[in-house]
Amino acid sequence: MTRGGASHPLVELTMARLREIFREPEALFWAFIFPILMSVAMAVAFPSSGAAPVPIGVRQGDGAEALRATLAASKTVAPRLVLAGDEERALRDGEVDIVVVPGTPPKYRFDAGRAESRAARLVLDDALKRAAGRREPWTAVEEHVSVPGSRYVDWLIPGLVGMGIIGTSVWGIAFSIVQARMRKLLKRMVASPMRRSHYLLAQVLARLMFLLPEVAIPLLFGRYVLGMPLRGSLLSLAVVSLLGALSCGAIGLLAASRTKTFEAISGLINLILLPMWIASGVFFSASRFPEVVQPFVQALPLTALVDALRAVVLEGAPLRAIGSELAILAVWGVVPFAIALKVFRWR
Amino acid sequence: MSDIAFRCEGLVKRYGDLVAVDHLSLSVRRGECFGLLGPNGAGKTTTIEILEGLLGPDEGMVEVLGLQWGSHEHELRQRLGIQLQETQLADKLTVEETLKLFRSFYNRGREVSELLQLVELESKRRSWVSKLSGGQKQRLSVACALAGAPDLLFLDEPTTGLDPQSRRQLWGILERFRADGGTILLTTHYMDEAEVLCDRVGIMDQGKVIALDTPKALISTLAAPKVITHYGTLEDVFMSLTGRHLREE
């Protein structure tokens, strides 16, 4: 057999797909630059330097300046004067967690539904009563322990990694296939002796080349800039990422199996991904959803992926500890892939 | 080895109420260049796609290189060169990368560098497909079809939309392929193209072949009576046979 200077078809197909990606500046942005920007944004939003003073608003008026000065003496709060008309906005925008109106006794204005505001109330109350000369029955011994992995940002980063994996897998694979179908290139390919499985496999292989930077950049940034713990073994991390990317790739394949236009595929992918961004616990814990919907939430591929990533990254879980998540991901890989092969339209 | 490159008998293809191909039979010898002519919607593309194994007929029999599509698809694909009407090759691959990709699917055939030479695209080997002219794109598309040194070449409107120089360049490529013993089936709208390239032409209308002979014979039998002031051309034949479209529009 001669190939006239060409390599194995699977290699040529994968290389062709990779070349297309690398020659598309937008694709490079999403794969490499976006995770960095996202990480930088997190570093700015979640500075790792200790507990920040609680922002407190003091309503302008009689005694306001004195009250502000009193509070300023305390290291636990950061007071600022606010106009009465501007209070609501300052509270809503999170500029201050609570507003204090000077008086005897002072009045606290805050939203009891916000955890930060409830905490701010305690800190403020404590600071004011101490300043007023409250006698402490005793002073507790405080021992400050910093538990890496318990901060929101630590919890968020693996979630964002999972979101990145599913996004690139589904969008990348589905768009490339729909484009080839629209250009009648798929039809031309199957008019040649190309093996269909080689074409589909090449799409997935090319996608996997992006997995390493996609997973490594945010995790390393989290580890070395934000001080996030990275406890799991590299092997576990690789297995979870790879399985996640393959499963999500199969979902992308299925989404693109019959779709003929960019409009249709965009709508379809948004329909698949947006609910998962909310339900799968990327930004807040999926356990907040009511008990009745938990079976559905837990069965989502992104939930399994994000849970497995968190367990490995934050807790150092071995693979056997995340067996159920890996099993869910495997099912999401096999079933959509099998359906996609059955219904795939090559024309 | 049979003398027949491909044949079909009683082909029917329906799309709902529309009969795109209507009991069509055709037989083409090895080494022949056969042209399918016909107005848009006559069923040329449907016919050629059935012969290429891309569409299944509702009725009828197809045999290509003595083999059936159902039982020998992979072997047939290795021995056929196919160029489709609407394919747009990947914009961001170079000419050479595109040819290497297609060449990798075949077990036999020329070196990629020879293919580039054959279609006169050596100077463009490192250009992106998106930077090529229409004629260059079409030559690349034909080169992809030639990648596996096919016995039989199917071309669907290979020169539509090209300028005269590009058309002649492509004709040269096809004549060289024939000189090496290859068989060609092509569809075209250009009568001069069919006269120059084809040994025989079939004129199709409404899914049927309504005339089939050498270009010369068709001209002498069908065009002569109407033509007084100039020698008959295939175009005269075509218009006299399929002119209903003109009358209707």
Best CA proximity match to B156, nearest among B72, B242, B241, B54:
B54
Which residues of chain B does A2 touch, with a Cβ-Cβ cutoff of 8 Å? Answer: 107-109
Q: How far is CA B77 from the centre of its chain?
A: 16
What is the model's pLDDT at position A260?
93
Mean pLDDT across B88-103: 95
Q: What percent of chain B has pLDDT over 90?
A: 74
Confidence of residue A341 (pLDDT cuts 50, 70, 90): confident
Confidence of residue A75 (pLDDT cuts 50, 70, 90): confident
Domain ranges of chain A: 9-45+148-343, 54-131
Mean pLDDT across A298-322: 94
Per-residue pLDDT tens digits for A10-49 = 999 999 999 998 898 887 787 777 777 877 787 777 765 5
Which residues of chain A does B87 touch, with a Cβ-Cβ cutoff of 8 Å? Answer: 183-185, 187-188
Q: Is the dihedral of CA B194, B197, B198, B204 positive or negative?
A: negative
pLDDT at position B31 over 50: yes
| Closest alpha carbon within chain B to A186 | B87
Q: At what angle do helices B164-179 and B134-146 cross, to 10 degrees?
A: 10
Which residues of chain A does B97 touch, with a Cβ-Cβ cutoff of 8 Å? Answer: 15-16, 19
Write the residue in A1, A20, A193 that is nearest to B74 by C-beta: A193
* Subunit contact B106:A193, Cβ cutoff 8 A: yes
Mean pLDDT across A314-330: 93
Structural domain total, chain B: 1
The token duo for A280 is 């799968």
Among B52, B85, B104, the strongest candidate for a mutation testing the A interface, having the largest count of A CBs within 10 A, is B104
Q: Does this complex have an ipTM over 0.90?
A: no
Shortest alpha-carbon distance between residue A339 and chain B (Å) = 22
C-alpha angle A336-A341-A344 in degrees, rounded to nearest 5: 105
C-alpha angle B21-B25-B26 in degrees, rounded to nearest 5: 115
Shortest alpha-carbon distance between residue A346 and chain B (Å) = 10
**Which spans in chain B are helix H?**
44-51, 69-79, 95-103, 112-118, 134-146, 164-179, 191-197, 215-218, 234-242, 244-248
Q: Which long-range contacts (CB under 8 A, 24 or more apart) does B118-124 make?
A: B118/B143, B118/B146, B118/B173, B118/B176, B119/B143, B119/B146, B119/B173, B120/B169, B121/B95, B124/B95
| Closest alpha carbon within chain A to B141 | A188
Per-residue pLDDT tens digits for A120-165 = 898 888 888 888 888 888 888 887 766 666 778 888 889 999 999 9
Which residues of chain A does B90 touch, with a Cβ-Cβ cutoff of 8 Å? Answer: 16, 20, 180, 183, 185
The total number of residues written for chain A in this structure: 347
Best CA proximity match to B189, nearest among B201, B178, B180:
B201
Best CA proximity match to B33, nearest among B234, B211, B174, B192:
B174
Q: In the CATH scheme, what is the homologous superfamily, with its name and number, of domain A54-131?
A: Periplasmic binding protein-like II (3.40.190.10)
pLDDT at position A99 over 70: yes
Mean pLDDT across A197-208: 90
Write the residue in A2, A12, A20 that is nearest to B92 by C-beta: A20
Mean pLDDT across A291-309: 94
* Subunit contact B103:A184, Cβ cutoff 8 A: no
Count the alpha carbons within 13 Å of B144 in the hemisphere toward its beta carbon: 32
Domain with residue B199: its CATH number is: 3.40.50.300
Best CA proximity match to A6, nearest among B104, B102, B240:
B104
Which residues of chain B does A24 touch, with a Cβ-Cβ cutoff of 8 Å? Answer: 92
Mean pLDDT across A170-184: 93
Q: How far is CA B144 from the centre of its chain?
A: 14
Write the residue in B88, B100, B101 that is nearest to A183 by C-beta: B88
Which residues of chain B does A347 touch, with a Cβ-Cβ cutoff of 8 Å? Answer: 54
Which residues of chain A does B84 touch, with a Cβ-Cβ cutoff of 8 Å? Answer: 184, 187-188, 191
* Subunit contact A7:B104, Cβ cutoff 8 A: yes
Confidence of residue B192 (pLDDT cuts 50, 70, 90): confident
Best CA proximity match to B87, nearest among B28, B38, B42, B129:
B129
CB B237 within 8 A of CB B194: no
* Subunit contact A188:B54, Cβ cutoff 8 A: no
* Subunit contact B90:A185, Cβ cutoff 8 A: yes
Residue B144 belongs to what domain range? 4-248
Q: Which residue has the tokens 């120059």?
A: B196
Confidence of residue B244 (pLDDT cuts 50, 70, 90): low
Mean pLDDT across B191-204: 91
| Closest alpha carbon within chain B to A183 | B88
pLDDT at position A330 over 90: yes
What is the model's pLDDT at position B43?
92
- Distance in angstroms (rounded) separating the CA atoms of residues B107 and B85: 25
Q: What percent of chain A has pLDDT over 90?
A: 46
Shortest alpha-carbon distance between residue A212 and chain B (Å) = 24
What DSSP state is assigned to residue B181?
Answer: T
Which residues of chain B does A6 touch, with a Cβ-Cβ cutoff of 8 Å? Answer: 100-101, 103-104, 112
Computed over every residue of chain B, the mean pLDDT equals 89
Per-residue pLDDT tens digits for A214-223 = 899 889 988 8
What is the model's pLDDT at position B227?
47
Among B64, B88, B101, the strongest candidate for a mutation testing the A interface, having the largest count of A CBs within 10 A, is B101
SS (H, E, C) chain A: CCCCCCCCHHHHHHHHHHHHHHCCHHHHHHHHHHHHHHHHHHHHHCCCCCCCCEEEEEECCCCHHHHHHHHHHCCCEEEEEECHHHHHHHHHCCCCCEEEECCCCCEEECCCCCHHHHHHHHHHHHHHHHHCCCCCCCCCCCCCCCCCCCCHHHHHHHHHHHHHHHHHHHHHHHHHHHHHHHCCHHHHHHCCCCCHHHHHHHHHHHHHCCHHHHHHHHHHHHHHCCCCCCCCCHHHHHHHHHHHHHHHHHHHHHHCCCCCCHHHHHHHHHHHHHHHHHHCCCCCCHHHCCHHHHHHHHHCHHHHHHHHHHHHHHHCCCHHHHHHHHHHHHHHHHHHHHHHHHHCCCC
Peptide bond into A290 cis (omega under 30): no
